[in-house]
C-alpha cells in the first residue's frame, strides 16, 4: 500500500512524497538459461506476498549489481553452466559481484538457492560463488544456501519455507 505525505517545502509550497506503508521490500534476483531458476523465483515471490512482503523480481541478465544497494534483504537464485559458469546473459552481473566488485554490502542480508546437476564436476558452482562473494563483501547470510540437483522442486520449496521462517523469527527478535 502506498501512502502520500504532504509537507511544507520551505519555499511557500507543498511537497508530496510517497511512501510504502508497512511494506517489507524484498529483492528476488534470478539467473537462468532454461527457466528453472525463474520458476523458483516466482514461487518465492508468491510466498513472499502471502507473508506480507513486497517482492521485486529481477533477472540478473537485465540489471546491474548496484540493485543490491537498494534493498536490505535479497534472495539469490541461480543455475550453473559450462565449467561452473553463470547462465548466459548474467556474466556482467556475476563479474560485478564475484570477480570485480566495486561496492561493499554491509547493509544487506541474503540467502542463495543454487540450481545445478550433480553429474557435473562443478556442481552448483555459480550459486556457491555468489554465496561466498556476498559474504566477502560484508553482507550477512541470514539463511543457509541450498544446492539443488535436477529434481529441484522439493529442495526449492524447503529453502523458501526456511527463508521466510528465519525472516519471521528475526522480526520477532527485533520487535
Ligand atoms: C550444457 C549444460 C551445462 C551445465 N553445467 C552445469 C555445471 O557445470 N554445474 C552444475 O551444477 N549444473 C550444470 N548444468 C545443469 C543446470 O544448471 C540445471 O539443469 C539447472 O536446473 C538449470 O536451471 P535454469 O533453467 O535456471 O538455467 C548444466 C546444464 C547444461 C544443459
pLDDT tens-digit series, residues 112-123: 999 999 999 999
Q: Is residue 4 part of a domain?
A: no
Any atom of ligand 1 within 6 Å of the Cβ of 122? yes
Is the predicted ipTM greater than 0.95, yes or no?
yes
Instruction: Output 120 or 9, whichever has higher pLDDT.
Output: 120
CATH number at residue 65: 3.40.50.360
Task: Please check the confidence at residue 143 and state whether its pLDDT lies above 60.
Answer: yes
Give the burial string for 2-29 (b: 16+ CB within 10 Å, else e).
eeeeeeeeeeeeeeeeeeeeeeeebbbb
Task: Tell me which residue has cell 543454487.
Answer: 114
Instruction: Output 3 or 70, whichever has higher pLDDT.
Output: 70
**Region 154-161: what's the mean pLDDT?**
98
Any atom of ligand 1 within 6 Å of the Cβ of 96? no
Q: Provide the number of structural domains found in the chain.
A: 1
Q: Would you state the pLDDT for residue 170?
A: 84
Q: Is residue 13 part of a domain?
A: no
Ligand 1 atom closest to the Cα of residue 87 is 27
Q: Is residue 56 part of a domain?
A: yes
Q: Is residue 90 part of a domain?
A: yes
Query: Model's pTM, two decimal places?
Result: 0.89
Q: Is residue 1 part of a domain?
A: no
Among 80, 85, 127, the mutation site with the greatest number of ligand 1 atoms within 8 A of its Cβ is 80
Any atom of ligand 1 within 6 Å of the Cβ of 80? yes
- Determine the structural domain holding residue 51 and report its residue range: 24-174
Q: Is residue 82 part of a domain?
A: yes
Q: Is residue 168 part of a domain?
A: yes
Amino acid at each position: 500500500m502506498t501512502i502520500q505525505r504532504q509537507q511544507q517545502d520551505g519555499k511557500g509550497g507543498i511537497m508530496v512524497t510517497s511512501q510504502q506503508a508497512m511494506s517489507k521490500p524484498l529483492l528476488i534476483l534470478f539467473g537462468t538459461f532454461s527457466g528453472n531458476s525463474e520458476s523458483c523465483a516466482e514461487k518465492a515471490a508468491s510466498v513472499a506476498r502471502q507473508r506480507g512482503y513486497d517482492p521485486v523480481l529481477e533477472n540478473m541478465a537485465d540489471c546491474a549489481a548496484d540493485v543490491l544497494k537498494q534493498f536490505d534483504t535479497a534472495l539469490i537464485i541461480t543455475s550453473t553452466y559450462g565449467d561452473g559458469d553463470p547462465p548466459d546473459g548474467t556474466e556482467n552481473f556475476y563479474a560485478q559481484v564475484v570477480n570485480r566488485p566495486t561496492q561493499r554490502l554491509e547493509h544487506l542480508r541474503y540467502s542463495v538457492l543454487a540450481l545445478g546437476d550433480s553429474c557435473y564436476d562443478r556442481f552448483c558452482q555459480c550459486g556457491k560463488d555468489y554465496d561466498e562473494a556476498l559474504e566477502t563483501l560484508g553482507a550477512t547470510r541470514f539463511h543457509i544456501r541450498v544446492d539443488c540437483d535436477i529434481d529441484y522442486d522439493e529442495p526449492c520449496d524447503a529453502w523458501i519455507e526456511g527463508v521466510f521462517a528465519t525472516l519471521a523469527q528475526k522480526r520477532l527478535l527485533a520487535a
